[in-house]
Amino acid sequence: MIDASAPELPQIESAFQPVLSLAHGAPVGYEALLRARDAAGKPCSPEAAFAVARQAGRCGEYERACLRRHVARFAQFAREDDVLFANLHPDVLVDPVHGPALAQELVESAVEPNRIVIEVLEARQETPAALVDAVERLRAHGFLIALDDFGAGLTNLGRVWDLRPDVVKLDRELICKAVESYRKARSLLRLVDLLHDIGTFVVIEGIETEEQARLSADCDADFVQGYFFARPAIEIEALAAFGAGSSPPLDARLGDARKLRRIADLEELAPYRRAFGRFKDAWCLGQPLAFAARHFLECEWALRVFVLDESGRQVGENVESDHCCERRCATFPLLARRAGANWSKRAYFREALLRPGETIVSEPYMSSSSTNLCVTLSAFVRLGEHGYVLGADIAFEGWSRHLA
What does the mean pLDDT of the chain come to? 87
Least confident of 15-29, 93-107, 122-136, 171-185: 122-136
Last residue of a domain, one of 256, 274, 289: 256
So what's the pLDDT on residue 1? 39
Radius of gyration of the chain (CA): 27
| For residue 214, pLDDT beyond 50 | yes
This prediction has a pTM of 0.80
Q: Do 22 and 53 belong together in one domain?
A: yes
DSSP 130-158: HHHHHHHHHHHHT-EEEEEEETSTT--HH
Reported as a single tens digit per residue, the pLDDT across 353-397 is 999 999 999 988 887 765 678 899 999 999 989 999 999 999 988
Q: Tell me the percentage of the chain whose pLDDT exceeds 90.
A: 59
> Which residues pair with residue 389 across a beta bridge?
308, 380
CB 205 within 8 A of CB 238: no
| For residue 94, pLDDT beyond 60 | yes
Confidence of residue 251 (pLDDT cuts 50, 70, 90): low
CA–CA gap between residue 346 and residue 326 (Å, rounded): 25
CATH number at residue 292: 3.30.450.20
Average pLDDT score over residue span 180-206: 92
So what's the pLDDT on residue 403? 73
Q: Do 89 and 220 belong together in one domain?
A: yes
Average pLDDT score over residue span 316-328: 75
Average pLDDT score over residue span 132-147: 95
CA–CA gap between residue 257 and residue 2 (Å, rounded): 49
So what's the pLDDT on residue 171? 92
Q: Do 193 and 238 belong together in one domain?
A: yes
Coil, strand or helix at 56:
coil
Last residue of a domain, one of 227, 256, 285: 256
CA–CA gap between residue 23 and residue 176 (Å, rounded): 22
Reported as a single tens digit per residue, the pLDDT across 219-235 is 989 999 999 999 999 98
CB 331 within 8 A of CB 370: yes
Q: Do 167 and 64 belong together in one domain?
A: yes
Confidence of residue 200 (pLDDT cuts 50, 70, 90): very high
Name which of 189, 187, 239 is nearest 214 in CA terms: 189
Q: Do 275 and 252 belong together in one domain?
A: no
Classify the C-alpha dihedral 47-52-55-59 as positive or negative: negative
Q: Is residue 160 part of a domain?
A: yes
Q: Is residue 351 part of a domain?
A: yes
CB 343 within 8 A of CB 310: no
| For residue 289, pLDDT beyond 90 | yes
CA angle 195, 20, 240 (to 5 degrees): 150
So what's the pLDDT on residue 401? 79
Q: Do 217 and 363 belong together in one domain?
A: no
CA angle 263, 264, 267 (to 5 degrees): 85
CA–CA gap between residue 357 and residue 360 (Å, rounded): 9
Reported as a single tens digit per residue, the pLDDT across 45-76 is 888 888 898 888 898 999 999 999 999 999 99
More confident residue, 241 or 149: 149
Q: Is residue 1 part of a domain?
A: no
Least confident of 1-5, 106-110, 286-290: 1-5
CATH number at residue 170: 3.20.20.450
More confident residue, 246 or 292: 292
More confident residue, 41 or 403: 41
> How many domains is the chain built from?
2
Q: Do 288 and 318 belong together in one domain?
A: yes
Q: Do 269 and 173 belong together in one domain?
A: no
Q: CB atoms < 10 A from the CB of 45, how many?
A: 12
Q: Do 307 and 235 belong together in one domain?
A: no
Torsion from C-alpha of 245, 251, 255, 256, nearest 10 degrees:
150
Q: Do 311 and 390 belong together in one domain?
A: yes
Q: Is residue 3 part of a domain?
A: no
Q: Is residue 4 part of a domain?
A: no
Q: Is residue 6 part of a domain?
A: no
CB 251 within 8 A of CB 219: no
CA–CA gap between residue 35 and residue 48 (Å, rounded): 11
CA–CA gap between residue 319 and residue 374 (Å, rounded): 16
Environment class of 327 (CB within 10 Å of its CB; exposed 0-12, middle 13-18, buried 19+): middle
Confidence of residue 274 (pLDDT cuts 50, 70, 90): very high
| For residue 130, pLDDT beyond 80 | yes
Domain that holds residue 285: 264-402
CA–CA gap between residue 135 and residue 143 (Å, rounded): 9
Q: Do 301 and 179 belong together in one domain?
A: no
CA angle 316, 351, 184 (to 5 degrees): 95
So what's the pLDDT on residue 25? 83
Q: Do 291 and 348 belong together in one domain?
A: yes
Q: Is residue 125 part of a domain?
A: yes
Q: Is residue 332 part of a domain?
A: yes
So what's the pLDDT on residue 368? 72
Last residue of a domain, one of 238, 256, 274: 256
